[in-house]
Amino acid sequence: MNMKKKKIIIMTAIFYSFMSYADIGNIEKVSGFKPIQSKVGSWGDQGDGTYINPILNADYPDSDIEQVGDTYYMITSKQHMSPGMPILQSKDMVNWETIGHGFEKLSWAPEYNWDRMNGYSFGVWAGDLAYHEGTWYIYQIDYKHGLMVTTAPDIRGPWSEPIMMLPPDEVVDDPAVFWDYDSHKAYMIINTGLKQKQPENETPGNENRIYEMSWDGKEILGESELVYTGRGAEAAKIYKIDDIWYIFLAEWDIGDTSTLPGVKNPKNDRKQIVLRSKDSIYGPYEVKTVLEKGSVFNDRSASQGSLLQAPDQSWWYMHQLIQNDDIPFQGRPQCLEPVNWVDGWPIIGVDTNNNGIGEPVKQYRKPINGFPIVAPSSDDDFSSSKLGYQWEWNHNPRDTHWSLTENPGMLRLKASKVLPNKDGYGPNINQWTNNDGSDTDFWRVSNVISQRIMGITTGTAIAKFDISGMEPNQLAGFARFGGNYNLLGVEVDDNGNKNLFYMDSMGNKTQGVVINSNDLFIKTTNVSNQAKYYFSFDGEKYESFGPTFTISFGKWTGDRLGFFTWNEKKDEEAGYIDVDWFTYDYDGPKG
């Protein structure tokens, strides 16, 4: 089959993609090159030609993937985190590493700045990545500000300032583009929800509408045309395969007996449907369910992703596990499924019960062999003058209050005062947030920096701090946060005395031992969603402090590991900490 997705995809691959691990070993003997030693775990690449889902078992939601040459490039959403829209790359669809971000800052609205921090759960939502005539494009809709596009000549940037294309009163989320080189026309499909819905459309659910775009992809031409309405229908992707139009959509399963589980489920089960038309991008379309929840991921639904093709012409589908049922604390991970074409329909996963609908697989053969195990970076010794791609700020950072150069080899975080606890600052209570401690100081502290946790089994993270620069009324240390937060760190009183402290999600502090050392090591571990903190002054002997606490998903974010500091005294900004290094071990692949 010949697929066109936004561009004519080149199916060439460098010869390494066809090599065996033995071949790579022979190259090592001849050249002296030794690849980085990697480990495997309970998910991802197993090192034996197979993988276990999720292949990217962390908070990388709402993915879109574009292939250029022999490389696959992925973007995923990250709401209010800055920089926004992580960009990853892979040679084999299984092993991914981060190479940049599409938005260096969330520059289009003041609520994402450090002096407002009022954009929780908004900002960067599901986007679409495209490559067209030498230019890279990222499209996304900020629910409060509308449709935008940023462009770059190179996937690694620099990316342009966003160009606003449609206002928020017309669109909801999930734009996807398609350049039809046959007709020399460009299109975009968008979930417009109920915003353009007319009384004559009595079908329940979201409208999905197609707009025509300018050929340069930067302007919408004319009005939209409705192509599909469905319950919770969103996350559309357009493909043209053998001159047949396909639109992939995620849809809710509530009260729908056409697919498992077949009963009304208030927890919002999802399914993947496909629209097919032999006539036009505007239809008319036939509709079929091609992926249902299945059983390998218990109560988590599978949907929303990208159709891919390997050099051997096999088809694959990358999708997320959504946050329904018992909300998972690691966020929304990515899974890879085989795709089989049956009577012109792409069946995703494996049809285990012979009902014509695919279900997710747990373990399967890799699409492409010969590449080493890699993973997004986690460990850091802060020896670079540029912040690693694994790190993201809670809202745009206050750049005057952090540095990698003032004390080379360390990350310096300077204390800021807490933002006011009033309207326009910090999180709002709405359908995307919870009210557990949302009015406490932590959520209104600038320059909290963090990275994703990996997996759901076990993990151990350790950081070394130099606390010699701390000043009276300053708090600083290690943060775990997502749906809630738990902190372990140092508190300095009015007289300059330092004490260990633990703080829970409601802002309650428990004071610990007096600290006389300039060095402090903090370790945090988790077994499933139960986590603890430990401290040490020599990096060898650790003592636990604080309770066992539950980590959780919230504000559309999985649990994260990072660092914080602020000064509790009104209008006081004295003090800093230096983070010397950070390590993170978890039950999964690590390059």
Q: For 187-216, what is each residue's pLDDT tens digit?
A: 999 999 999 999 999 999 999 999 999 999
Q: Which residue has the tokens 């691990």?
A: 21
3-class secondary structure, 574 = coil
For the cut 50, the answer to whether the pLDDT of residue 104 exceeds it is yes
* 47-51 average pLDDT score: 97
Residue 139 lies inside a defined structural domain of this protein = yes
Q: Give 435 or 581, the one with higher predicted confidence.
A: 581
Pair 301, 198 in one domain? yes
Q: Give 438 or 51, the one with higher predicted confidence.
A: 51
Pair 244, 181 in one domain? yes
At residue 29, what is the residue type? Answer: K
pLDDT for position 69 = 95
Please report which confidence band the pLDDT of residue 591 belongs to, taking 50, 70 and 90 as the band edges.
confident
Q: Is 198 exposed, middle or buried (0-12, 13-18, 19+ CB in 10 A)?
A: exposed
Boundary-marking domain end, from 365, 384, 403:
365
pLDDT for position 32 = 34
Pair 417, 356 in one domain? no
pLDDT tens figures, 507-526: 999 999 999 999 999 999 99
CATH number at residue 57: 2.115.10.20
CATH number at residue 398: 2.60.120.200
Pair 340, 457 in one domain? no
Please report which confidence band the pLDDT of residue 437 belongs to, taking 50, 70 and 90 as the band edges.
confident
**Of 119, 163, 131, 105, residue with least CA distance to 9:** 131
Please report which confidence band the pLDDT of residue 493 belongs to, taking 50, 70 and 90 as the band edges.
very high
Pair 275, 399 in one domain? no
Q: Where are the beta strands (DSSP E) in 242-391?
A: 244-252, 270-277, 286-291, 302-309, 315-321, 334-342, 345-348, 363-365
Tokens of 119: 């954009």
pLDDT tens figures, 265-301: 455 688 999 999 999 999 999 999 999 988 898 778 8
pLDDT for position 13 = 33
3-class secondary structure, 26 = helix
pLDDT for position 254 = 64
Q: Give 21 or 234, the one with higher predicted confidence.
A: 234
3-class secondary structure, 29 = helix
Round to whole Å and give the CA distance between 155 and 153.
Answer: 7
Pair 32, 173 in one domain? yes
Residue 419 lies inside a defined structural domain of this protein = yes
Round to whole Å and give the CA distance between 172 and 195.
Answer: 8
For the cut 90, the answer to whether the pLDDT of residue 28 exceeds it is no
CA 343 to chain CA centroid, Å, is 34
pLDDT for position 261 = 37
pLDDT for position 435 = 57
Q: Give 572 or 18, the one with higher predicted confidence.
A: 572
**Contact at 8 Å (CB) between 368 and 314?**
no
Residue 78 lies inside a defined structural domain of this protein = yes
The total number of residues written for the chain in this structure: 591
For the cut 50, the answer to whether the pLDDT of residue 29 exceeds it is no
Pair 351, 437 in one domain? no
Residue 55 lies inside a defined structural domain of this protein = yes
Q: Give 32 or 422, the one with higher predicted confidence.
A: 422
Boundary-marking domain end, from 365, 380, 412:
365
For the cut 90, the answer to whether the pLDDT of residue 35 exceeds it is no
Pair 478, 348 in one domain? no
User: 285 CB contacts (<8 Å, ≥6 apart)?
Assistant: 227, 228, 245, 247, 275, 276, 277
Tokens of 230: 């469905």
Domain count, the chain: 2
Pair 293, 407 in one domain? no
Mean pLDDT for the chain?
90
User: 514 CB contacts (<8 Å, ≥6 apart)?
Assistant: 497, 498, 499
For the cut 70, the answer to whether the pLDDT of residue 579 exceeds it is yes
For the cut 60, the answer to whether the pLDDT of residue 537 exceeds it is yes
Give DSSP secondary structure letters for 190-211: EEEETTT--TT--S-SEEEEEE
Residue 378 lies inside a defined structural domain of this protein = no
3-class secondary structure, 458 = strand
pLDDT tens figures, 211-266: 999 999 999 999 999 999 999 999 999 999 999 999 999 998 765 554 443 344 45
For the cut 70, the answer to whether the pLDDT of residue 130 exceeds it is yes
Number of Cβ atoms within 10 Å of the Cβ of 28: 12
For the cut 60, the answer to whether the pLDDT of residue 364 exceeds it is yes
Pair 252, 343 in one domain? yes
Round to whole Å and give the CA distance between 86 and 100.
Answer: 6
* 386-403 average pLDDT score: 98
Tell me the HSE value of 233 on the side-chain side, using a 13 A CA sphere: 29
**Contact at 8 Å (CB) between 542 and 523?**
yes
* 163-178 average pLDDT score: 98
Boundary-marking domain end, from 365, 383, 405:
365
Pair 187, 126 in one domain? yes
Residue 536 lies inside a defined structural domain of this protein = yes
At residue 415, what is the residue type? Answer: A
Please report which confidence band the pLDDT of residue 6 belongs to, taking 50, 70 and 90 as the band edges.
very low
Pair 448, 340 in one domain? no
Residue 591 lies inside a defined structural domain of this protein = no
Tokens of 82: 């800055």
Residue 80 lies inside a defined structural domain of this protein = yes
Q: Is 32 exposed, middle or buried (0-12, 13-18, 19+ CB in 10 A)?
A: exposed
Phi, psi values for residue 16, rounded to 5°: -60, -30
**Of 56, 74, 65, 72, residue with least CA distance to 6:** 65
Edge-first strand order for the sheet with 163-166 is 127-132, 135-142, 146-152, 163-166
Q: Where are the beta strands (DSSP E) in 135-184?
A: 135-142, 146-152, 163-166, 173-180
Per the structure, the complete domain to which residue 143 belongs is given by: 3-365
Give percent above pLDDT 70 in the chain. Answer: 89
Q: Which residues on neighbouring strands pair with residue 166, listed in sequence order?
A: 147
